[in-house]
A and B are shown apart, each in its own frame.
Chain A
Amino acid sequence: MVAQHTEKAPELTVAALNARGRERFAALGLPSTRREAWRYFPTKALRGVDLTKAAPVAGGGVAPGVAELASADFADHVARIVCVDGRLEASLSTVDVLTAVEASLGQTSELIGTVADSDDAPLRAANEGALVAPLVLTMPANTVIDGLVEILHIATGEQVVQPRLVLALGRSAQLSVAQRFVATPAASAVTYVVNAVTEIVLDDNATLDHVEIVDEGAAAFHVNDVVARLHRDSTLRTFTATLGGGSARTAIRAELVGAGASCALDGLYIAKDRERYDHYTEMDHIVGHTDSSEYYAGIMDDRAEGSFQGLVFMREGARKSATAQMNRNLLLSQGAVANSKPQLEIDNDDVKATHGTTVGQLDELALFYLTSRGIEPTRAKAILTFGFARDAISRVRHAGLQKALTTLALNKLAGSLDLTGIDDGDLADG
């Protein structure tokens, strides 16, 4: 038997974490764009916002619109955990499948604050300072949940929500999670802040599919800071779909600490109006024989700005490791902005590392081909743009999620392009 990995934790109580987080956040202040990681994501909107507190518990039952959102189908889930303004709403959640495999859903774990170190991470510290009821999902060794577990975050109003999620998978456990952020109609019309932190630990040979869907209200300020630690032979596949929200950023840091660990970070962002979407990734190959890949696609219209920063470390011990990274951007209008910064730091000669970035328009030849077949140019453009998005979405493994994401992407693109009559069926595989 191989011993379970224990993350060395100074076991801190929630109160102690709060004190530490508040102290660190007070010392660090809001991250400015002078910090390289925040270069493309100004946090000016947070000035004057009190980040030291969590949203208060709503009195008088469930807010309007919550029940509808909590019961609406999205992507064929087998379990749904509903969090309202950062707090677990047990009455709206269906978790029978979890209990069946003895997965535990709790509010405490010695892991909190150890994987996601708040030492030099301002907003992570703020989240720690305001921590009230973290959501901890633990899968025992050798357990498998067949199907999708959806964690639905619903924002109900003008407030600061600072959810913390811990996903801890035991040896050879398997889980597929979708973390979806939405707003009630009331919240859609106002400015609110989501400052989430997600901590992931995969024990030997564990496999996690993590899909984040950012579908926040139009004026929302959304940040999700994901930190994952991958032990021997474990696999992490993430997909970040940023499709709604005024300003949204997802940062993912993956630490490959066990040989044979494999990590794929993919994403799609579609931004319009003055939306500002930022994706920051750090792939840290600490030991040898680890693999990683990244594929992010961005479509920017109107005066939107989409950014990608991908930092890959190949440490001295990372021999025989490989990484490949790709960021592709499509600009649909004058005034739209794409920023891309793929970055490699290589300290070992026995590795393979590549990255690529493209910014441009649709392929002239493909457009010509379609128009030569009698398709109107605007229609041809719409088809190819949708194909560009669909290409990224096809990396999601769960069929139901693929379909749901395709619908969301179509809706988002509908304002920019004539997509009538196009649906997933037109482009289904085979």
Chain B
Amino acid sequence: MSASAEEISEFTNRKYEAGFVTDIETESLPPGLSEDTVRFLSAKKGEPEWLLEYRLKAYRAWLEMDEPTWAHVRYEPIDYQAISYFSAPKSNENAPKSLAEVDPELLRVYEKLGIPLQEQEMLAGVAVDVVFDSVSVVTTFKAKLAEAGVIFSSFSEAVREHPELIKKYLGSVVPHTDNYFAALNAAVFSDGSFVFVPKGVRCPMELSTYFRINEKNTGQFERTLIVCEDNAYVSYLEGCTAPMRDENQLHAAVVELVALEDAEIKYSTVQNWYPGNEEGVGGIYNFVTKRGICKGARSKISWTQVETGSAITWKYPSCILQGDGSIGEFYSVALSNMRQQADTGTKMIHIGKDTKSTIVSKGISAGRGEQTYRGAVKILKSAEGARNYTQCDSLLIGDTAKADTVPYVEVHNASAQLEHEASTSKISDDQLFYCQQRGLDEENAVSLIVNGFCKDVFRELPMEFAVEAGKLLEVSLEGAIG
């Protein structure tokens, strides 16, 4: 899986590959946030009254809340009035019906990102719901999915076509009052993805969305909702890049997963947003609320994430294990280089009997990067026979890197069994020496060892993502070694 040295140096010389601004006319709202902004947004999207009410409720709740300060991250205060809350490609009305109709400028963007849609359609068999800024522009493979009964569409489309489902599940896992950023998202969410897999259906392909933040000064407020009915299965992939720029961009997404009886949802993320330059200028603020509920018995939710980008990451994909015998998993590789700060982890809340959870977190800190694993495992009184295994390891590269581990273990049931292990260390000199003695140079030796360190997590990723993730890690680590 390890890339050759040439490949790495090629990557490095290219600097941040996705660093460009695409010049497509967009229709943006002037910066500022008020009830009027919320009303405008809702009207613009032709939303029903109940959704507007939901947004306004969230907005009012948000006004009453304070920005959280407990995370180990530092940043200049965000001016929420300086953010533009809506931007959509102007060609919205004559939306393309096939790739041939897609704006060639757009296609060139994807090409630069290395994800030409045609190839993806043919090679990977992956349906891509591309989010370019805020509005979904292209949705492919829809017919195939529809045949299986799977709904995979943009959020706004789902609001129009399946309002009953949205009404039923929106905010059911992450309520609009959950936290500061989730409330903001609920008030002003732009668009996102909706997946519904009906009873007994195994989604015939991996679903994938590429997010891309493009318009200057535009916060992205994605909303993703995935519902799996009884006995259904879906694997969802999310990957992101963003153009280089000097202003910090706020990204406050919300992802909600609902798994009913015997259902399984696998959610994988490769996140490579612009991390800012060596001095920590620019870069994305990634303040995301991700949570899944295992509502039905024997259901399963599995989060896998590879976080290499963003200036600041604030993200805790969590599982509420309500159904008896349900399973939650969290596999994470988080890398912070240069001046990146990552405060990430998970929460496993065991409610049902015989619920199981596994947490494997690998943090890598290099340069002046700061890394915090923050996790909670709660076993409630009702969770007879609950089981948790947690392992969180940190690897430090360079004497200015920082790594913190903050796990909470709270057990209210005597039949529970929990194990938590954590370790922090640098790359062992013995391992390095062995590799070098076998003819690898230091850089390759380090990347080999780091890849090995992350193996437990990469194994959980779908094949093509695993390869991408390995390369991404090597590129992200460039300059941190030696």
Stretch of A2-10, A163-171, A226-234, A344-352 with 4 or more beta carbons under 8 angstroms from chain B = A344-352
> Would you give 14 A-B contacts (Cβ < 8 Å), ordered by A?
A319-B399, A331-B411, A334-B414, A338-B410, A339-B408, A340-B408, A344-B394, A344-B403, A354-B422, A355-B420, A355-B422, A360-B417, A361-B414, A361-B415
A228 vs B61: C-alpha distance when bound (angstroms): 46
Q: How many A-B residue pairs have CB under 8 A?
A: 112
Stretch of B298-306, B423-431, B454-462 with 4 or more beta carbons under 8 angstroms from chain A = B423-431
B401 in the interface (beta carbon within 8 A):
yes
Highest count of chain A CB atoms <10 Å: which of B394, B396, B405, B409? B409
Decide if B418 touches A356 in the complex (CB within 8 Å): no
A37 in the interface (beta carbon within 8 A):
no
B397 in the interface (beta carbon within 8 A):
yes
Partner of A349, one of B416, B423, B426: B426
B55 in the interface (beta carbon within 8 A):
no
B381 in the interface (beta carbon within 8 A):
yes
B402 in the interface (beta carbon within 8 A):
yes
Decide if A352 touches B417 in the complex (CB within 8 Å): no
A residues less than 8 Å from B417 (CB atoms): 359-361
Interface string of A320-336 (1 = CB under 8 A from B): 00000000010111111
Given the contacts A339-B409, A346-B404, A349-B398, A358 and B422 also touching, CB distance less than 8 Å: no
Decide if B418 touches A359 in the complex (CB within 8 Å): yes
A343 in the interface (beta carbon within 8 A):
yes
B residues less than 8 Å from A331 (CB atoms): 411, 413-414, 416
Partner of A359, one of B394, B403, B409: B409
B67 in the interface (beta carbon within 8 A):
no
A residues less than 8 Å from B422 (CB atoms): 342, 344, 354-356
Chain A minimum-CB-distance residue to B403: A346
Given the contacts A349-B426, A354-B423, A340 and B406 also touching, CB distance less than 8 Å: no
Partner of A344, one of B381, B405, B410: B405
Given the contacts A353-B423, A359-B416, A360-B416, A343 and B410 also touching, CB distance less than 8 Å: no
Q: How far is the CB of A142 from chain B (nearest CB, A)?
A: 38
A341 in the interface (beta carbon within 8 A):
yes
A396 in the interface (beta carbon within 8 A):
no
A residues less than 8 Å from B426 (CB atoms): 349-351
Chain A minimum-CB-distance residue to B379: A359
B412 in the interface (beta carbon within 8 A):
yes
A349 vs B422: C-alpha distance when bound (angstroms): 15
B residues less than 8 Å from A361 (CB atoms): 414-415, 417
B residues less than 8 Å from A358 (CB atoms): 418-420
Decide if A357 touches B424 in the complex (CB within 8 Å): no
Decide if B399 touches A345 in the complex (CB within 8 Å): no
Partner of A342, one of B398, B412, B414, B420: B420
Interface string of B14-47 (1 = CB under 8 A from A): 0000000000000000000000000000000000
Given the contacts A337-B411, A347-B402, A348-B399, A356 and B381 also touching, CB distance less than 8 Å: no
Partner of B411, one of A344, A348, A359: A359
A residues less than 8 Å from B381 (CB atoms): 334-335
Chain B minimum-CB-distance residue to A349: B396
Decide if A352 touches B407 in the complex (CB within 8 Å): no
Partner of A341, one of B394, B396, B409: B409
A residues less than 8 Å from B403 (CB atoms): 344, 346
B residues less than 8 Å from A352 (CB atoms): 423-425
Decide if B425 touches A351 in the complex (CB within 8 Å): yes
Decide if B398 touches A355 in the complex (CB within 8 Å): no
A residues less than 8 Å from B424 (CB atoms): 314, 344, 346, 351-354
Chain B minimum-CB-distance residue to A352: B425
Q: Give the bracket for the number of chain B residues in contact with chain A.
A: 20 to 34
User: Lowest 9 CB-CB distances: which A-B pairs, in order?
Assistant: A349-B396, A331-B414, A357-B420, A360-B417, A340-B409, A353-B424, A344-B405, A359-B418, A349-B426
Decide if A341 touches B411 in the complex (CB within 8 Å): no
Known: A357-B418, A359-B409. 8 other contacts (CB 8 A): A338-B409, A346-B403, A352-B423, A353-B423, A354-B422, A355-B422, A357-B420, A359-B418
A286 vs B409: C-alpha distance when bound (angstroms): 27
A357 vs B409: C-alpha distance when bound (angstroms): 8
Partner of B405, one of A336, A340, A343: A343
A residues less than 8 Å from B401 (CB atoms): 349
Partner of B394, one of A319, A346, A356, A357: A346
Q: How far is the CB of A324 from chain B (nearest CB, A)?
A: 9
Q: How far is the CB of B102 from chain A (nearest CB, A)?
A: 47
Highest count of chain A CB atoms <10 Å: which of B410, B416, B417? B410
B residues less than 8 Å from A353 (CB atoms): 423-425
A360 vs B405: C-alpha distance when bound (angstroms): 22
Q: Which A residues form the contact surface with B (CB < 8 A)? A: 314, 316, 319, 329, 331-361
Chain A minimum-CB-distance residue to B388: A359
Q: How far is the CB of A287 from chain B (nearest CB, A)?
A: 15
A residues less than 8 Å from B421 (CB atoms): 354-356
Decide if A340 touches B420 in the complex (CB within 8 Å): yes
B residues less than 8 Å from A355 (CB atoms): 405, 420-423
B residues less than 8 Å from A357 (CB atoms): 407, 409, 418-420
A338 vs B381: C-alpha distance when bound (angstroms): 12
Chain B minimum-CB-distance residue to A347: B402
Decide if A346 touches B409 in the complex (CB within 8 Å): no
B residues less than 8 Å from A347 (CB atoms): 402
A360 vs B404: C-alpha distance when bound (angstroms): 26
B residues less than 8 Å from A338 (CB atoms): 409-411
Highest count of chain B CB atoms <10 Å: which of A316, A339, A343? A343
A342 vs B410: C-alpha distance when bound (angstroms): 12
Q: How far is the CB of A348 from chain B (nearest CB, A)?
A: 6
A residues less than 8 Å from B397 (CB atoms): 349
Chain A minimum-CB-distance residue to B396: A349
Q: How far is the CB of B112 from chain A (nearest CB, A)?
A: 36
Chain B minimum-CB-distance residue to A356: B421
Decide if B412 touches A337 in the complex (CB within 8 Å): yes
A356 vs B412: C-alpha distance when bound (angstroms): 19
Q: How far is the CB of A36 from chain B (nearest CB, A)?
A: 8
B residues less than 8 Å from A359 (CB atoms): 379, 409, 411, 416-418
Decide if A341 touches B419 in the complex (CB within 8 Å): no
A341 vs B421: C-alpha distance when bound (angstroms): 12
A residues less than 8 Å from B399 (CB atoms): 316, 319, 348-350
Q: How far is the CB of B371 from chain A (nearest CB, A)?
A: 9
A348 vs B397: C-alpha distance when bound (angstroms): 9
A391 vs B225: C-alpha distance when bound (angstroms): 50
Highest count of chain B CB atoms <10 Å: which of A332, A334, A338, A352? A338
A352 vs B399: C-alpha distance when bound (angstroms): 13
Q: How far is the CB of B356 from chain A (nearest CB, A)?
A: 14
A196 vs B419: C-alpha distance when bound (angstroms): 34
A354 vs B392: C-alpha distance when bound (angstroms): 10
Decide if A333 touches B405 in the complex (CB within 8 Å): no
Given the contacts A331-B411, A360-B416, A341 and B402 also touching, CB distance less than 8 Å: no
Chain B minimum-CB-distance residue to A358: B419
A334 vs B414: C-alpha distance when bound (angstroms): 5
B residues less than 8 Å from A335 (CB atoms): 381, 414
B residues less than 8 Å from A345 (CB atoms): 402, 404
A361 vs B406: C-alpha distance when bound (angstroms): 24
A348 vs B401: C-alpha distance when bound (angstroms): 7
Chain B minimum-CB-distance residue to A348: B399
Q: How far is the CB of B255 from chain A (nearest CB, A)?
A: 27
B residues less than 8 Å from A349 (CB atoms): 396-399, 401, 426
Q: How far is the CB of B342 from chain A (nearest CB, A)?
A: 14
Chain A minimum-CB-distance residue to B399: A349
A residues less than 8 Å from B409 (CB atoms): 338-341, 357, 359
Which residues, 423 to 443 on B, are CB-close (under 8 Å) to A? Answer: 423-426
Decide if B410 touches A339 in the complex (CB within 8 Å): yes
Q: How far is the CB of B347 from chain A (nearest CB, A)?
A: 14
Decide if B402 touches A346 in the complex (CB within 8 Å): yes
Decide if A337 touches B425 in the complex (CB within 8 Å): no
Decide if A336 touches B423 in the complex (CB within 8 Å): no
A329 vs B409: C-alpha distance when bound (angstroms): 11
A333 vs B411: C-alpha distance when bound (angstroms): 12
